[in-house]
Amino acid sequence: MTESTLVALPVILPLGLALLSWSCRRSPTGSRVALIGGSALLLALAIPLFLVVREAGTPLRLDFGAWRKPLGISFKVDLLSAILVAVSSIVGFAGALFAAGETGRILWAKGYGTFFFLLFAGINGAFLTHDLFNLFVWFEVMLMSSFAMLVLGRRRFVFEGATQYVVINMVSSFFFLSGLGLLYGKTGHLNLEEIATRLVASSSDPVILSSATLLLLAFGIKAGVFPLYFWLPPAYPNTGFATAAVFGGLLTKVGVYALYRVFGGAFGFLSEYTSDLFLAIGCATMIAGVLGAASQFHVRRILSFHIISQIGYILLGLGLLTQGAVAAAIFYTVHHIFVKTNLFLAAGAIAATGRTEDLARLGGILKTSPLLAILFLIPALSLGGIPPLSGFFAKFILLREAIREEAWIVTVIALLVGIVTLFSMTKIWAEAFWKETPRAGAPLPQRPMLLVPVALLGALTIVIGLFPGTLFAIAEEAARQLLSSNPATMNPIQ
């Protein structure tokens, strides 16, 4: 397989799998086989792509149709892109395994597998493209497919949250297009490399600042940062658990990736304006998310607010904008994708066992499903930052970089948020697993099939915790490649 084929297939393959899934939609068995087999194939493709990019030491490039920048569609796969494509493929495989045990005949018939693969075509396209307009296109593919997955076969009340989700994301798209228009008018390009070489270091051009502001709003909505996160908590708790797990693990991270790619790379010369801003947004996002989680008594609502709080941690690397801080943020992103996906899948297993997600009506699962209790405890403790799990090292490395930069207020806030995070995780444990079974009904026997993807992701969390140096070394190289496109470290031309 040539390098060009390897670069293109993460997008082309899921588009083909979407058509295959549509042809199988009337057969639940065929749909399950297509979903699991297709996800396994995507994973089998993503791992070699990561290994080739890491071995090469330089990004791979593909210009479709032999059109050179700025005219053609250009994919550029650096180590950060390759990491995220590989991680998203693992999440897709775990989500497919869970969906095979959860999804009913009606959803298969309505094309659940088709929209699942279209979503991953959009995610991979966003990670691989090196052109801002094409990034917009892949965002729209993600939006349409995710909206379909939210409402597919759901009851009428679900549409309120789903409608809010799509409306606010359309507002994000408007900001995105407006920012692109200003940027194209100023530079004549939307390719990130061309933009980086045409913007003047420490520029205060009002057009560029306006474009940057609009892009910050657009990506901030996608990432769910403060105060733009209000669409997220109502959307995820009312869909299927496999869908919520994939959304919770990946969708906001695509927004964060766009922030890092633009403001850590091409717009990095604006760091004098944005560093303190990103630190403030990160801290506010951490606080708002964790307080929202602490106030909830519904499992997926707690987890949804924790998506927000953990995004705040990841933004700290963009505020500090050193190679070590960006590497720490990449490490944190990989950890959080695995852990958050796993917690949503574990929530599905809890609901299947306890008949509900309301903590007041749950209890006794430790006795009836001790394996589920252990599997939930692994990502829960990791999210709270307990050693030797991945979350401890993710927080430790990030806070180490904050201390090096003497960001003391940020460090204190991050530590306090970690304590409250651990409290909300122990609240789920105490109510769902430890306390006696409520009289409303005893827990049901656990379905083993649902625990397979939970165990898979839990094992990855443990492995990262046991060998954090390996992932951090990869993250450091990814950070170096990302920051090398920062025009503050280049010789920009007018």
pLDDT average, residue stretch 444-471: 89
**pLDDT tens digit sequence for 234-245:** 888 878 899 999
The token duo for 318 is 């963009």
Query: Where in 26-73 does DSSP place strands (E)?
Result: 60-63
pLDDT average, residue stretch 197-219: 81
On whether residue 367 sits in a domain, the answer given is: yes
CA 97 – CA 33 distance, rounded (Å): 10
Q: Is 42 exposed, middle or buried (0-12, 13-18, 19+ CB in 10 A)?
A: buried
C-alpha distances out from residue 255 to 40, 177, 315, Å: 25, 15, 11
CA 82 – CA 6 distance, rounded (Å): 11
On whether residue 494 sits in a domain, the answer given is: no
On whether residue 399 sits in a domain, the answer given is: yes
* Banded pLDDT at 202 (limits 50, 70, 90): very low
The region of weakest confidence among 69-83, 220-234, 316-330 is 69-83
The region of weakest confidence among 14-23, 188-197, 222-231, 259-268 is 188-197
Residue 449 pLDDT > 90:
no
Q: How many CB atoms lie within 10 A of CB 407?
A: 22
CA 262 – CA 265 distance, rounded (Å): 5
What is the rounded end-to-end Cα distance, in angstroms, of the chain? Answer: 40
pLDDT of residue 50: 95
CA 468 – CA 166 distance, rounded (Å): 38
Query: Could you tell me if 276 and 206 are in contact, meaning their C-beta atoms sit under 8 angstroms apart?
Result: no
On whether residue 20 sits in a domain, the answer given is: yes
On whether residue 14 sits in a domain, the answer given is: yes
What share of the chain has pLDDT > 90, as a percent? 61
DSSP class of residue 447? -
Instruction: Between 70 and 379, name the one with better pLDDT.
Output: 379
Residue 218 pLDDT > 60:
yes
Angle, CA of 344, 216 and 50, to the nearest 5°: 55
What per-residue string of b and e applies to 44-78 under the rule 16 or more CB within 10 Å gives b? Answer: ebbeebbebbeeeeebbbbbeeeeebbeebbbbbb
* Banded pLDDT at 492 (limits 50, 70, 90): very low
CA 71 – CA 133 distance, rounded (Å): 11
On whether residue 449 sits in a domain, the answer given is: yes
Residue 380 pLDDT > 60:
yes
Instruction: Between 217 and 445, name the one with better pLDDT.
Output: 217
CA 366 – CA 30 distance, rounded (Å): 35
On whether residue 247 sits in a domain, the answer given is: yes
Query: Could you tell me if 220 and 255 are in contact, meaning their C-beta atoms sit under 8 angstroms apart?
Result: yes
Range of the domain at 224: 3-489
What per-residue string of b and e applies to 193-226 under the rule 16 or more CB within 10 Å gives b? Answer: bbbbbbbeeebeeeebeebbebbbbbbbbbbbbb
DSSP secondary structure letters along 419-437: HHHHHHHHHHIIIIIISPP
**C-alpha torsion angle, residues 239, 458, 315, 188 (rounded to 10):** -70
DSSP secondary structure letters along 337-354: HHHHHHHHHHHHHHHHHH
CA 429 – CA 437 distance, rounded (Å): 13
pLDDT of residue 357: 86
Query: Could you tell me if 15 and 121 are in contact, meaning their C-beta atoms sit under 8 angstroms apart?
Result: yes
Residue 44 pLDDT > 80:
yes
* Banded pLDDT at 474 (limits 50, 70, 90): very high
pLDDT of residue 155: 58
**pLDDT tens digit sequence for 319-349:** 998 999 999 999 999 999 999 999 999 999 9
What per-residue string of b and e applies to 451-460 under the rule 16 or more CB within 10 Å gives b? Answer: bebbbbbbeb
CA 428 – CA 450 distance, rounded (Å): 19
Instruction: Between 178 and 104, name the one with better pLDDT.
Output: 178
- The SS3 assignment for 278 reads helix
pLDDT of residue 489: 44
Domains identified in the chain, total number: 1
pLDDT of residue 67: 64
Residue 440 pLDDT > 60:
no
CA 301 – CA 137 distance, rounded (Å): 30
The region of weakest confidence among 114-118, 161-165, 213-217, 313-317 is 161-165
